[in-house]
């Protein structure tokens, strides 16, 4: 096998082993034997068992974010529901990898693991903000131009999707279409609530050209709450 094929085979093996056993119960010999390679070759590629685990975690994160982003881009008229369907399909079809991704398979999450998890969340955040098609993002290509409150609210919604997704894998309730509708509505409610408290968010949303694809409609007229200073 070519080196890249060997590495891919090792990562696929690692995802299965780390998701089905505690991290401490998986040995280098287990990984090498299951992947059909020698211990020295495994060390040559990744340096250690933990190096293999991090590479497997990164692969799982990349697959998930890519699936969501492709769905957003391919279905602009209903991009949020398409992204949610892709997310739920991916975590059901790759349940072992998803469990590994969110379960911190090596025990207490290290800074390296948290960095991978945060990069996955950031990738989904960027895809969501780009799909909303706000001029600040489209023209500058930089989501940091989006108001901090809007970023925080969307990031919080991503965390909610993670938690609900884990429960859904276990219970399979509600049905997928119902769950997509629920999460889509929660996204819209969260974004509109942020707009009520921040005039900058309202201005950004009024300029956005992709809200319809998320089922969001801003009310006409003044929308920001009048909040008395503390």
Contact predicate 201/149, CB 8 Å: yes
pTM here is 0.85
**Residue at 45 is within a domain:** no
Tens-place pLDDT, residues 161-188: 999 998 998 898 999 999 999 999 999 9
What string of H, E and C letters represents the secondary structure of 200-225? HHHHHHHHCCCCHHHCCCCCCCCCCC
**Residue at 1 is within a domain:** no
**Residue at 94 is within a domain:** yes
**Residue at 149 is within a domain:** yes
For residue 3, what pLDDT band results from cuts at 50, 70 and 90?
confident
Furthest C-alpha separation in the chain: 68
**Residue at 218 is within a domain:** no
**Residue at 226 is within a domain:** no
Tens-place pLDDT, residues 60-100: 889 999 999 999 999 999 999 999 999 999 888 876 667 66
Q: Higher confidence at residue 30 or residue 137? A: 30
**Residue at 32 is within a domain:** no
Q: How many domains does the chain have?
A: 1
CA-nearest of 50, 33, 53 to 97 is 53
The two tokens of residue 127 are 């895809």
Report the 10 Å Cβ neighbour count for 154.
21
Provide the domain limits for residue 110: 60-213
pLDDT surpasses 90 at 132: yes
Give the CATH number for residue 195: 1.10.357
Give the span between the Cα atoms of 104 and 115, in whole angstroms. Answer: 12
Give the span between the Cα atoms of 230 and 177, in whole angstroms. Answer: 43
């Amino acid at each position: 096998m070519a080196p890249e094929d060997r590495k891919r085979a090792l990562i696929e093996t690692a995802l299965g082993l780390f998701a089905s056993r505690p991290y401490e119960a998986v040995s280098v010999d287990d990984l090498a034997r299951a992947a059909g390679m020698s211990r020295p070759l495994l060390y040559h590629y990744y340096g250690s068992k933990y190096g293999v685990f991090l590479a497997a975690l990164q692969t799982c994160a990349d697959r998930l974010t890519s699936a969501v982003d492709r769905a957003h881009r391919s279905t602009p008229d209903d991009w949020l529901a398409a992204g949610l369907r892709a997310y739920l399909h991916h975590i059901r079809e790759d349940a072992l990898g998803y469990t590994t991704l969110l379960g911190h398979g090596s025990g207490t999450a290290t800074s390296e693991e948290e960095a991978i998890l945060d990069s996955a969340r950031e990738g989904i955040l960027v895809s969501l903000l780009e799909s909303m098609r706000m001029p600040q993002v489209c023209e500058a290509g930089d989501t940091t131009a989006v108001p901090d409150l809007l970023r925080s609210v969307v990031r919080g919604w991503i965390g909610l999707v993670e938690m609900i997704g884990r429960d859904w894998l276990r219970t399979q309730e509600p049905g997928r279409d119902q769950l997509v509708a629920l999460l889509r509505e929660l996204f819209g409610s969260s974004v509109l609530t942020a707009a009520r408290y921040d005039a900058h968010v309202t201005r950004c949303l009024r300029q956005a050209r992709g809200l319809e694809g998320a089922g969001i409609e801003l009310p006409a007229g003044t929308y920001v709450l009048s909040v008395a200073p503390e």
